[in-house]
Amino acid sequence: MLYLLAAVGAITVAVLLWRAFGPQRLGVASRGPGGSISAPDDDPDFLRKLDEHNKDRPDEDGKNER
């Protein structure tokens, strides 16, 4: 029973320390520029560069579709 109370107390202290000194409190940026997280396929510049790259690259059978 004593070990159970010690484990609960240790978890409680760990959670309180995390809430007090966690990443949000230390000023660590949790989001990218612009305030939101975006995947590469949401970035118009990335999509444009990918499309240009694929235009110059032949297909598996050796010919371009376009």
In which region does residue 16 sit, left (phi positive, over 0), alpha (psi from -120 to 50) or beta (all else)? Answer: alpha
In whole numbers, what is the pLDDT of the chain averaged over residues? 77
Higher per-residue pLDDT: 38 or 26: 38
Confidence of residue 17 (pLDDT cuts 50, 70, 90): very high
d(CA 62, CA 10): 63
Indicate the domain borders of the chain.
Answer: 2-56
Per-residue pLDDT tens over the stretch 37-49: 667 667 788 888 8
Would you state the pLDDT for residue 10?
Answer: 98
Angle among Cα 15, 17, 19 to the nearest 5 degrees reads: 70
* Mean pLDDT confidence for 4-33: 80
